[in-house]
Structure formats: structure tokens, C-alpha cells
């Protein structure tokens, strides 16, 4: 294949790629618009029950004098430390 044929082939490929890219960027005129979902019917006679609430309670306090294990968790040596 000569230089002229390669140049022509390259130009054709670039033109096709440009056309495909341009077509992808242009919106399709025949596209059907998305239908809007209708809201569910409201029933006035049905009252929504309020969810049960959980009382707010304080968290337990961590004992500051407890022992603490310092280690990597991979069964290697660790150490218990008294705080």
C-alpha cells in the first residue's frame, strides 16, 4: 500500500469517526419524551400512623480503670495495659 492509499484510508477513518461522534452529540429528534409518573392517589379517610419512637437514653460510661489490650489482632504477641 502506497503513501497515497494510506493517507486516503486515514482521512476516511477520521471522517467516519467525526461523523459518528457528531451524531452521538446531536439529540435524536424522533425520541419520545419521558412520561412523568403520576403520584399515587391520596386517600383522605386513611390516616397515617405515626411510627413508634424510642426513648433517648444516655450511653453507658466506659470504665477508665479497665484493662486494655494493645495488639495487631493477628495472633501475635500483644499486651494488656492497666489504664
Confidence of residue 14 (pLDDT cuts 50, 70, 90): very high
CA dist., res. 21 & res. 59, Å (int): 60
Grid cell locating 1: 500500500
Grid cell locating 55: 426513648
- Model pLDDT for residues 22-75, shown as the tens digit of each residue: 777 666 555 555 666 666 666 655 556 667 788 888 877 776 667 777 887 777
CA dist., res. 63 & res. 55, Å (int): 24
Q: Where are the beta strands (DSSP E) in 1-83?
A: 67-70, 79-82
Q: Where are the domains of the chain?
A: 1-28
Selected residue with higher pLDDT from 12 and 74: 12
Confidence of residue 4 (pLDDT cuts 50, 70, 90): confident
CA dist., res. 7 & res. 32, Å (int): 41
Q: Which of 49, 55, 79, 75 is nearest to 67 (CA)?
A: 79
Amino acid at each position: 500500500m502506497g503513501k497515497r492509499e494510506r493517507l486516503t484510508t486515514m482521512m476516511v477513518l477520521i471522517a467516519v469517526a467525526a461523523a459518528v461522534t457528531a451524531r452521538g452529540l446531536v439529540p435524536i429528534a424522533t425520541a419520545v419524551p419521558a412520561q412523568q409518573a403520576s403520584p399515587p392517589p391520596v386517600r383522605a379517610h386513611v390516616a397515617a400512623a405515626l411510627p413508634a419512637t424510642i426513648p433517648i437514653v444516655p450511653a453507658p460510661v466506659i470504665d477508665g480503670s479497665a484493662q486494655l489490650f494493645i495488639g495487631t489482632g493477628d495472633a501475635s504477641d500483644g499486651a494488656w495495659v492497666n489504664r
